[in-house]
Amino acid sequence: MSVSPTSTTTYTLTATGDGGTVSQDVTVTVNPASGTVDTRTFSSGDVPKSIPDNNSTGVTSTLVLNDGHSIQDLQVTVNITHTYIGDLVVSLISPSGTEVTLSNREGGSANNINKTYSLSNFNGQDAVGTWTLKVKDLARYDTGTIDSWSLTVKATYSSATHDFSSTDTPMSIPDNNSTGITSTLNVSASATVTSFDVTVNITHTYIGDLIVTLYAPNGSSAVLSNREGGSANNINKTWTITASGGLAIHGNWKLKVTDNAGADVGTLDNWKLSFSY
């Protein structure tokens, strides 16, 4: 028996012996995990990844979650470019080892998988740990890529998430200009975190032109994308940044975007920071 109460709940279990001659009732009170029930979205940061052709080992992409207990609902959104999706077996593996097949050679000659799957298989499990998306291509000729994937998890979180969004966007990105643009986001809260998420939405017709860099109030920086993605359009992605020594969040954060090649142009649509404290 597995239960995931959202409030303190009393259950009565009845055990009956062989022949029905002996029975015993046991009453158990279960307290839910402490914290806040919330729905949060987490995106993988190790994609895109090429899917090897006609290879039963396939490719895996991982996503590490640091919070989330007693899952109540989970959705996984998968974006795969492939020219014959009937070749593919796609599965999701939880930190506890539960594997759920999302697509088993379905779709025939259709192109690409861009789909959200709602799953109850993981209800009651902890979200904390390493989640794995596995993709296998089991036939020849057609090839593809895991472009992106994310988890949306309703669970009990030990800390609350606080979002801070840019107010000076959208901003046009000058073409073939190493100075680029800088958007500034002021975080008025005071807290120290060891990890946080940054979500960036950019419209651009050739994202391999772009370098995207985040600067913290203390001057430290993290390159989010360094001319990655080739001729693909647009960046709509969340990165998880680790600050193992602790990072004070109060102050001005900056996102810099430079376009380092000619012809294609675009816009920084918006960006946000998400902190748990």
Q: What digits encode the pLDDT tens for the residues 56-74?
A: 999 999 988 878 899 999 9
The tens digit of pLDDT for each residue in 190-199 reads 888 889 999 9
**Residue 259: per-residue pLDDT:** 97
Is 213 buried (19+), middle (13-18) or exposed (0-12) by CB count in 10 A?
middle
Q: Show which of 127, 157, 187 is a domain's final residue.
A: 157
Residues 207 and 245 in one domain: yes
What are the pLDDT digits (tens) for 223-247?
Answer: 999 999 999 999 999 999 998 788 9
* Residue span of the structural domain in which 46 resides: 36-157
Instruction: Supply the CATH number for residue 56's domain.
Output: 2.60.120.260
Judge contact between 51 and 124, C-beta under 8 A. Answer: no
Percent above pLDDT 90 for the chain: 71
**At residue 124, what is the residue type?**
G
- Looking at 157, 190, 222, the residue that finishes a domain is 157
- By C-alpha distance, which of 52, 53, 42 is closest to 92? 42
State whether 187 and 251 are in the same domain.
yes
Same domain, 124 and 181: no
- The 3-state DSSP class for residue 83 equals coil
Tally of structural domains, the chain = 3
126 and 228 in a common domain: no
Does one domain contain both 170 and 65?
A: no
Shortest CA distance to 214 belongs to which of 250, 248, 175, 252?
A: 252
| Whether the predicted model's global pTM rises above the 0.75 cut | no
149 shares a domain with 99: yes
Residues 141 and 101 in one domain: yes
Contact criterion met (CB below 8 Å) for 178 and 160: no
